[in-house]
Amino acid sequence: MSAHATITPPKPAKLLSGYKPFWAKRFGPAPFLPMSRQEMEQLGWDSCDIIIVTGDAYVDHPSFGMAVIGRTLEAQGFRVGIIAQPEWNSAEPFKALGKPNLFFGVAAGNMDSMINHYTADRKIRSDDAYTPGGEAGKRPDRASLVYTQRCREAYKDVPVVIGGIEASLRRIAHYDYWQDKVRRSVLIDAKADLLVYGNAERAIVEIAHRLARRQPIESITDVRGTAFMRRPDDPALAGWFELDSTSVDTPGKIDEILNPYATTEETAEAQGASCAKAEGDAGGKADAAIPAVQPIQIVRRTLSRDDGRAVTTPRDRTVIRLPAYEQVKSDPVLYAHANRVLHLETNPGNARALVQRHGDRDVWLNPPPLPLSTPEMDLVFDLPYARSPHPRYADENGSHDHATKIPAWEMIRFSVNIMRGCFGGCTFCSITEHEGRIIQSRSEDSVIREIEEMRDKVKGFTGIVSDLGGPTANMYRIGCKSPEIEAACRKPSCVYPGICQNLNTNHDPLIRMYRRARALPGVKKILIGSGLRYDLAIQSPEYIQELVTHHVGGYLKIAPEHTESGPLSKMMKPGIGTYDRFKQLFEAASEAAGKKQFLIPYFIAAHPGTSDEDMMNLAVWLKRNGFRADQVQTFYPSPMATATAMYHSSRNPLKKVTRDSEAVDIVRGERRRRLHKAFLRYHDPNNWPLLREALKEMGRADLIGNGKHHLIPTFQPATDGSYQSARRKNSTPTGVKTSVAKPLAKSASPQAASPRGATASPRRGQILTQHTGLPPRVTGTTKPGVSRTTGVKPASSAAARPGTKPAARPTMHAARPAGKKPR
C-alpha cells in the first residue's frame, strides 16, 4: 500500500474572507494604525479592540509583520493599535492606547531579539536595522517575555497572544546558544495565554472573532498553528489517542526482535548458553537455567468495515508525546530525537499534534496552519498599506531619508514580495519551521498592482525595482505535482539529495511575470535581490537567460555555502558541481547579452560537520577560483533549527537518532571558530599567523609559500589587527582603522597629515564604495604601472621574498573573481 493511501487530508480551512466583519468596520481603514491616543481620537475611536506590541519600529509595509497582522485584523473590522519599541522598564508605556477590548498581540519583531542583539561570536551589535537611525538598544533581550510581563502588569485581565519569529522558534523546549542550555518553551516563561506560530493570518483572525464572541481564551484549543498549556487531566482530552514519540522515531539502544519460530536450542545458542542435557544426569533433566521460549502470537485487528485495513488512530485526534523538558535539558540525545520528531510533523497535510511536559503542565502544539491560497495571499498583500514608516519617525523636514532612516525599510522600500515558504530544507535556516515548505504564491495581477502602486505613490521611486522575490528568488508557483503526494510527504526537503521527481520545476510563470513587470510604464529595471536557488534554476535554461539578460545588476548573490561533501550533507545543500554547472550557464548567458557580470558566492564557517580540513579545502578552492570573501558568516545556532540540534547534541537528526548513531564534528571554542573564519578570509594578513600555525599542525605546510599555488605567504606585513566588516557598525575593531592612502601632493608638508595617522579620502574611482564585489571602474586617470584600485605602484618581486616588507595589499569587499578586467 502506498504511503499516502492512509492519510486523510485535513479539513479545508475557513477562508479569510469568510468571516462576518466585526461591527467596528464602519470606521474604515486608517491611514496608519494609531500609535497614540490623539490618533485614535482623530479616527473617532474610544478604544482599541486589539493592541499589537512589537520590537520593531512601525513601518506600514507588507514586509513587516506588525503591519501584515494589523491590516489583516483591520480588514476583519477590528480597531488595531500599535505600540512599537516601548520603553520596557515600567508598565506605563504599555498603557499608551488604553485597555484593549479583546487582547494584546506581542511579537519581538521581524528578528529573534537575541539574534538582533548579538553576533555569532556573542558580541553585542552596535546597530539595529529595524530602528530609526539604526540605533541599538531599543528592545530588550528576549523581548517576547519582557513585553508579555509588562502587558500583564498594565492590564492583568487582558489575554496576551504571542507570535512572530521569536515565538515560532521557541514554541517547545529549545537550545539557547547564548546561555548554552536548553530553555523551556517561551509560552511557559512568558506566561502568555496563547502562542501563534508560523504565518499567523488564519489563526489570529479565528482567535479575534472567537474572543469578540466572548469565548474564553482558555477554551480556544483547536486552532491550527497555535500552542497553549493544559493539565494532563484536562477533560477535553477525552477521545484523543496519545502516542509516545519513540513510536515515530526510536532513540537509544534498540533491542533485537525475538524470532517467534526459534527453537529453545537456537535461542540458547544465540545467548552463549546451552540447553543440552547435563552429562551424567541420570534423570535426563534439562538445564534449569534455560527458560522455555514460547512463540509470540501476532494479532492484527481490523476495522469493523470489511476493507482489510489495520486499525490506525485518526491523525486529527492523535497527539505525539515528546520527551519532557526535564529530560531533553539533561540528555542531548533525547533533545536531538525530539527535534527530529518535530520536523517530521511539519507538513500541514499529515502533521499530528505534539505535546511536551513541563513540570506538572503540558505544552500542546496543534498542527501547523494550512497554507494560504493564491486569492488569500492577494487579499493580504492588497490591503491599504501606506508603504512608509509611521509619521512619528519623520525628521524635522517630514522625511524618512536622513537621520531617522530605518535601514530595514530602506532595504525593502522598492521591493515586492511574490511568495512565501521554502522547500529547500537547509538545516541552518529557520524558514521551514516558521513559514513552512509549501510555497504560497500571489497572483501575477496582484504583484503588478503593487509595482504600479509603488511607482505612483512611494516617494523617491526612480524606476528601479530592487527585488521581486521572497525567501528565495525562484520558487514562485513551484510545488508538488500531486496534492495527494504532497499531503503525505514527510521529507524535509524537495531538492536534497536531489530534486524530487514529483517536484514541478517549471519557471514559466515567473518568466512571464518578469516580462510583464519590466514592460510597465515608468519601470526602468527590475533587479532580483533575493537569494537564488541555483539547483532549481539549472532546470530552466530559459529562466537563467531571462534573469541574466534583464535582471542582474552586475552581480548575483548565490549561496553554495561550502565545497566539501561532509558539511554540505549536514546542511542539505547540493554539491559544488551544481554551482559549477550554474556558473557555466550564467557566464554563457552574460556573454550572449554582452555584459560583464559576476557571481557573488556566500559561504558558512564553523557549521556542524565541518572539519578543519574541509575549511582548508574551501580556502584552496577560493584561492584557485580567485575569490576573496569579505562577507563571512559564521554558523549561528538559531533556536529549533536542525543544525542547532546537531550543535547541541553532536548527533545528526537527519537520520534516526540513537545512542550509537553518527557523531557530528562540532566547531566549538573561540580559537577553532576563529580558524574556520580565517580560512574563509585567507587573504587577510591578520589571519596569516593563525593559519600558518594550523597548516603546520595539519601537516599541510606545503600551502605556505610565496608562489601562486600557495595559500598564504611566508612573510608577515605589519598590521594593526583591525577588521572592518561589510556591516561597518557591527565590527569590533581591535586597532585603529586603516584606509587606502591618497598620494599626497609634493608640496604637502608632513604636518598636513592627521596626528592620528589618518589619511585623506581616496580619489573617486580608486576603491569600491560598497560591498558589491565588482572590480573598480576604468577611469583613465591612472598612469601605467599604477594600480587603479590603490593609486600606488605595486611592490617589486624582491619585496615578496621572506624577510622583506611588501606594500600592504588592499582587500576587495565581498568576493571578486580574479582575472577579470576592470570595467
Concatenating the DSSP letter of every residue in 662-686 gives PBPP---SHHHHHHHHHHHTTT-GG
Give the pairing of strands 174-176 and 181-183: antiparallel
Rama region for 387: left / alpha / beta (φ>0; ψ in -120 to 50; rest): left
Whose grid coordinates read 520558487?
Answer: 475
CA distance 652 to 343: 13
CA neighbor of 188 nearest in space, from 316, 362, 27, 318: 362
Q: Which residues lie closer than 8 Å to 539 by C-beta, 6 or more apart? A: 499, 505, 507
Q: How far is CA 597 from CA 42, 283, 540, in A?
A: 52, 94, 20
Predicted confidence at residue 806, as pLDDT, reads 36
Q: Which helix (H) or strand (E) holds 432?
A: helix 431-435
End-to-end C-alpha distance for the chain, whole angstroms: 61
- Number of residues written out for the chain: 823
Whose grid coordinates read 527458560?
Answer: 291
CA neighbor of 567 nearest in space, from 671, 670, 664, 425: 664
DSSP 579-615: HHHHHHHHHHHHHHHT---EEEEEEEES-TT--HHHH
Predicted confidence at residue 764, as pLDDT, reads 46
Q: How far is CA 300 from CA 2, 241, 306, in A?
A: 19, 19, 14
103, β-bridge pairs: 50
CA distance 322 to 319: 9
242, β-bridge pairs: 319
Rama region for 629: left / alpha / beta (φ>0; ψ in -120 to 50; rest): beta
CB 467, CB 458: distance < 8 Å:
no
CB 503, CB 439: distance < 8 Å:
no
Secondary structure of 83-120 as H, E, C letters: EECCCCCCCHHHHCCCCCCCEEEEECCCCCHHHHHECC
Rg (CA), the chain: 30
CA distance 706 to 711: 9
Predicted confidence at residue 731, as pLDDT, reads 40
CB 81, CB 36: distance < 8 Å:
no
Q: Which residues lie closer than 8 Å to 361 by C-beta, 6 or more apart? A: 188, 229, 230, 231, 232
Q: How far is CA 752 from CA 209, 459, 744, in A?
A: 71, 43, 9
CB 367, CB 342: distance < 8 Å:
no
Cell of 700: 599541510
Predicted confidence at residue 724, as pLDDT, reads 52
CB 820, CB 775: distance < 8 Å:
yes
Q: Give the count of beta carbons closer than 10 Å to the beta carbon of residue 414.
A: 22
CB 151, CB 137: distance < 8 Å:
no
CA dihedral 612, 615, 616, 622 (to 10 degrees): 180
CA neighbor of 165 nearest in space, from 209, 228, 113, 129: 113
Cell of 51: 493592541
CB 292, CB 303: distance < 8 Å:
no
Predicted confidence at residue 265, as pLDDT, reads 58
CA neighbor of 568 nearest in space, from 613, 533, 607: 607
CA distance 804 to 561: 36
CA distance 493 to 599: 25
105, β-bridge pairs: 52, 161
CA distance 677 to 607: 11
DSSP 689-748: HHHHHHHHHTT-GGGBSSSTT-SB-S-----------SSGGG---SS----PPPPPPTT-
The order of strands in the sheet holding 555-561 is 555-561, 598-605, 633-634
CA neighbor of 104 nearest in space, from 34, 54, 178: 54
CA distance 671 to 474: 38
Q: Which helix (H) or strand (E) holds 80?
A: strand 80-84
CA distance 588 to 547: 12
Give backbone dihedrals phi and psi of 256, rounded to 5 degrees, phi first.
-65, 140
228, β-bridge pairs: 364
AA identity, residue 413? R
Whose grid coordinates read 519583531?
Answer: 109
Give backbone dihedrals phi and psi of 326, rounded to 5 degrees, phi first.
-65, -25
Q: Which residues lie closer than 8 Å to 637 by C-beta, 6 or more apart? A: 175, 177, 643, 644, 647, 648
For the chain, list residues with pLDDT below 50.
1-5, 252-258, 260, 274-310, 725-823
CA atoms within 13 A on the CB side of 272: 0
Predicted confidence at residue 557, as pLDDT, reads 87
467, β-bridge pairs: 415
Q: Give the count of beta carbons closer than 10 Å to the beta carbon of residue 16.
A: 20
Cell of 414: 522598492
Predicted confidence at residue 632, as pLDDT, reads 80
CA distance 648 to 646: 6
Work out the angle at residue 123's Cα, subtended by the Cα atoms of residues 120 and 124, and round it to the nearest 5 degrees.
Answer: 115
Evaluate the omega torsion of the peptide bond into residue 750 and state whether it is cis, within 30 degrees of 0. Answer: no
pLDDT tens readout for residues 510-546 = 999 999 999 999 999 999 999 899 999 999 999 999 9
